Amino acid sequence: MPIATPETYRAMLRRAREESFAFPAINVTSSSTILAALEGFSAASSDGILQVSFGGGEFASGQSNKDMALGAEALAEYANVVAPRYPVNIALHTDHCPADRVDGFIRPLLEVSRRRRERGEMPLFQSHMLDASNLPMAENLALATELLGACSELDIILELEIGIVGGVEDATDNTDVDRSKLYTSPDDMARVSETLGTFDRGLYLLAAVFGNVHGVYKPGAVRLDPKILRDGQEEVEKRFGRGARHYLVFHGGSGTSVEEIHETIGYGVVKMNIDTDCQYAYTRPIVDHVMVNYAGVLKVDGEVGDKKAYDPRSYLRKAETGMTARVVEACETLKSSGMTLG
């Protein structure tokens, strides 16, 4: 199917909220990782989301360019070419853009979408994420309000974050952040609705935090409190009505138990970011390949090696297969398997 239209993306999110499942949002950095994710969604008969962070965009732009918007645009264009061969709906999203990178990442991509809309085409990305959680709440919401207006004009959804996800994401290091900032209050969730509206000024997604930490940790190392999401949604409903309940996003979920993930879905999580686990699933088969084919890959002791062993296709396809399996697992965990809109 072609990349999801704005209408299809909204239908995907509404259905997820109504039927209590969530979409895996898979970070991609190359054509290879895009294919791995698409294969996974297809195998699971799940619609899904491909997302590009500013670091992923910079990587994809080339060693000399280091242009985050250019790389993101290139990855989105590639996805537009190959996604129609897969029988699922795929939305494109940009992930974690700090306030100081908005001018170099989100705004240029909005301009690309504006030109596309003027030609009667869809926006390049169906949603963008502003992560201004390091700013005071008022400044965060002021910038989010501005971007929500710009996105809505182009039929694009905005995602924002309140509170801080710990750990490291791209160049953002929150490993030493005050733990109190890792938990969003009910008042903060209601304040988002009060400031951005109850979807009357455009649909938006909210990454509220409940102890989430980017990266991967052993069981027990991260203290999650999913009931924060429940309490926040109840406060929003009390003030603005049931229809105002947020479309929530789960960040920093590596190492989270299935039970905790299902609990968050029950509170309105419709999208969960899957990055670190897919990185490992992609890289592990490459390491296995090199270790098994050591002499062939490295031309040991002056020998000629084995061209089949060091041909990138030989190990990248294995990497894709490993990542595909992790995407299928994510779809099963988030209950999106078999739920494609068709």
**The pLDDT of residue 166:** 45
Q: Which CATH superfamily is domain 6-333 in?
A: Aldolase class I (3.20.20.70)
Q: Is 80 exceeded by the pLDDT of residue 216?
A: no
Q: Is 90 exceeded by the pLDDT of residue 177?
A: no
Q: Is 80 exceeded by the pLDDT of residue 101?
A: yes
**The pLDDT of residue 210:** 83
Q: Is 80 exceeded by the pLDDT of residue 95?
A: yes
Q: Provide the 3-class DSSP secondary structure of residue 183.
A: strand
- In this prediction the pTM is 0.92
Instruction: Exactly one of 95, 131, 170, 277 is catalytic; name it.
Output: 95
**The pLDDT of residue 250:** 94
Mean pLDDT of 165-178: 48
Smallest CA-to-CA distance from 319 within 290, 288, 283, 287 is with 283
Q: Is 60 exceeded by the pLDDT of residue 167?
A: no
The residue whose two tokens read 């409940």 is 210
**The pLDDT of residue 174:** 42
Q: Is 60 exceeded by the pLDDT of residue 172?
A: no
Mean pLDDT of 206-218: 69
**The pLDDT of residue 249:** 96
Q: Is 80 exceeded by the pLDDT of residue 221?
A: no
The residue whose two tokens read 């009667």 is 120
**What is the Cα–Cα distance from 56 to 33, expressed in whole angstroms?**
11
- Beta-strand runs (E) in the chain: 23-27, 48-53, 90-98, 127-131, 157-162, 167-169, 172-174, 204-208, 247-250, 269-274
Are residues 76 and 52 in contact, defined by beta-carbon separation less than 8 angstroms?
yes
Which range in 130-134, 208-212, 225-229, 279-283 is most confidently predicted, on average pLDDT? 279-283
**The pLDDT of residue 71:** 98
Mean pLDDT of 30-44: 98
**52-65 confidence digits (pLDDT tens):** 999 999 999 999 99
Q: How confident is the prediction for the chain on average, in pLDDT?
A: 92
Judged by average pLDDT, the poorest of 68-72, 104-108, 282-286, 295-299 is: 295-299
Within 13 Å of residue 17, how many CA atoms lie on the same side as its CB?
16
* Residue 95 is among the residues annotated as catalytic for this protein: yes
Domain boundaries, the chain: 6-333
